Amino acid sequence: MSTPTPELFFRSINAFHLTQALKGAIELDIFTAVAEGATTAKALAEKRQASERGMRILCDYLTITGFLTKANGAYSLTPDSAMFLDRRLPSYVGGSVEFLLSPMLTQSFDDVAAVVRKGGTVVSEDGTMSHDNPVWVKFARAMQPLAFGLAQTLTGPIKLDPNKKTKVLDIAASHGLYGLMFAQQYPNLEVVAVDWANVLEVGKENAAKFGVSERWRALPGSIFDVDLGDGYDLVLLPNFLHHFDPPTIEKLLRKIHAALGEGGRVVTVEFVPNETRTEPPQSVTFALVMLASTANGDAYTFAEYEKMFANTGFSRSEIVQLPVSFEQVIVSYK
Amino acid sequence: MSTPTPELFFRSINAFHLTQALKGAIELDIFTAVAEGATTAKALAEKRQASERGMRILCDYLTITGFLTKANGAYSLTPDSAMFLDRRLPSYVGGSVEFLLSPMLTQSFDDVAAVVRKGGTVVSEDGTMSHDNPVWVKFARAMQPLAFGLAQTLTGPIKLDPNKKTKVLDIAASHGLYGLMFAQQYPNLEVVAVDWANVLEVGKENAAKFGVSERWRALPGSIFDVDLGDGYDLVLLPNFLHHFDPPTIEKLLRKIHAALGEGGRVVTVEFVPNETRTEPPQSVTFALVMLASTANGDAYTFAEYEKMFANTGFSRSEIVQLPVSFEQVIVSYK
């Protein structure tokens, strides 16, 4: 065993440096500038009207944290940075900073000790779950590029009959991409999208962009209150159940069960930790985000979800690991 | 080459979670509670008057980030946590949070883009270098446990004649530990400690604690203004030069050179990056801390320090790597 050191503690307590430096790099749009050929601190400083000394120190830091490489005083993009941090590309994810570092989410973490004492958010009574919270408009716009890849892969394992008229309910639809990917693939498919009215404006724009506006309908309001109708073949539940406690989830699942037609399925997209809650790290971290930002949310295990679906009338649930995602998919059958 | 992913970006932009969760764990004194035998979320919640759900989610997060281990629902300390995060031990470093997350230092990182544009701190004109800034009293108290180990190892490579009357000047003495370790080891050694008056109170307490008050004298004020006297055998410069630009450092080194006796040495303790500024990571990161919190500070390479000492009359400088430290030592001879 090696001698104990306080290295991990100091690196971790100072981790906010990394958040803030990366936010600064995104704001200065350094990665696009490097992609465009400004590869030295001097060239970057000129291109971005910044100090050479500041650019050199920040880019050296971005080098040791894995976002750039450095050779002979010139910086280059890593494959990840070239794909995801060049603002000119559709795969650019830097816009997610608007949501991930929105005051709502950063303030949630201001007093983690108080959050742990209380067992839920201390920002407000409902945290991010308050009615028409504008953070979800930010989410819809900022997280689209990331959701796009995930939504596309979802149509792989979830097969539908292309010849049959199909009705899909997209819950907490947000940018609408999950339902829209199915609408794009299946010409006889109609989507009903539920979310706050302000958020559904983003989904409506995307429906037009994908040319499926006539088969995409907005149903604004709280999923717990609106009349869903019935006869759905597929209900999409992407990134929604984690905001609530099991009794609230079961209340919702009963309502969904009633709205599903015979042979219908629910597709839940979630951060699902393993049964001991020790991996994957993204899911374990996500539980902390829910603790800090909601009254009762959590990252539930598959066994917990399986039980909630069974309690509310579903015949069986199965877990599907998507090829490239931190999230898991649970398919539950009526 | 593997497929690019946005994983590093998302982990890094959310790095503030780690800072805040660890700060919360220190405030709740979770590590001491585990050491005292409260190893489940339930037992920890009872001991700390917190919610079980909150404890479980935070401790799972501390597990995936390397501060705890988990088996059969019970948490254990890692060797590092057991040594450095148990408040009952003198090796406890959790108190450093008072300095590392002081508003002065966190606010320095609020707008890194503005810092890079300007090339220095945007918090105030002088940042942490303003006269009598109270952050240095916090530093002196909070960073003592860490400095203690480093100060102890420093007397290893820096040998003095135990039979000779020896005069040491401890610049930016803070808690005074660097000078005090020498005073403790050499009974004929006297220390003159320079720092702000409010900070030297901490050094004075420590001098009494080590029983060397009669051989330790406070010289309050700015090192740039006070009359240092002369005939010093050893001048200690721990963690000070990084706050300034080279012309200011050279001005100080000239003053120190004049105060040194024949055969005298300067011992500089610093975060020294390699010549390409790509490692060690602590030194590259430290440059960013200086950029954000001071007007002109930096982490200088050995070649840069060597030049500054040569320019101001020193005959030669050599670098010494301490056995267990992120920092390096430069010894410069009159």
SS3 B192: strand
Q: How is residue A61 written in tokens?
A: 């830091």
Which residues in A lie closer than 8 A to residue B297 (C-beta atoms)? none
Res A1: pLDDT = 54
Cβ A318 vs Cβ A330: under 8 Å? yes
Mutation pick from B8, B10, B11, B13 vs chain A, by most beta carbons of A within 10 Å, is B13
For residue B108, name the pLDDT band (cuts at 50, 70, 90): very high
Select from B19, B28, B119 the Cβ nearest to the Cβ of A116: B28
> How far B221 CA sits from the closest chain A CA (Å)?
30
Q: In the predicted model, what is the mean pLDDT of chain B?
A: 94
> How far B24 CA sits from the closest chain A CA (Å)?
4
Q: What is the DSSP letter of B230?
A: S
Res A321: pLDDT = 84
For residue A323, name the pLDDT band (cuts at 50, 70, 90): confident
Does B116 contact A9 at a Cβ distance shorter than 8 Å? no
Which residues in A lie closer than 8 A to residue B15 (C-beta atoms)? 15-19, 22
A126-135, B2-11, B87-96, B309-318: the lowest-pLDDT one: A126-135
Cβ A48 vs Cβ B119: under 8 Å? no
Backbone φ/ψ region at A297: left (φ over 0), alpha (ψ -120 to 50), beta: beta
Mean pLDDT value across residues A237-251: 96
SS3 A263: strand
Res B118: pLDDT = 97
Which residues in B lie closer than 8 A to residue A61 (C-beta atoms)? 284-285, 287-288
pTM for this predicted structure: 0.93
Which residues in B lie closer than 8 A to residue A9 (C-beta atoms)? 22, 67, 80, 84-85, 93
Select from A19, A277, A287 the Cβ nearest to the Cβ of B15: A19
Give the span between the Cα atoms of A48 and B2, in whole angstroms: 32
Which ipTM value was assigned to this complex?
0.93
The yes-or-no verdict on residue A136 having pLDDT over 90 is no
Give the span between the Cα atoms of B96 and B54, in whole angstroms: 24
Give the span between the Cα atoms of B12 and B316, in whole angstroms: 42
pLDDT tens-digit map of B264-291: 999 999 999 999 999 999 999 999 999 9
Cβ A124 vs Cβ B60: under 8 Å? no
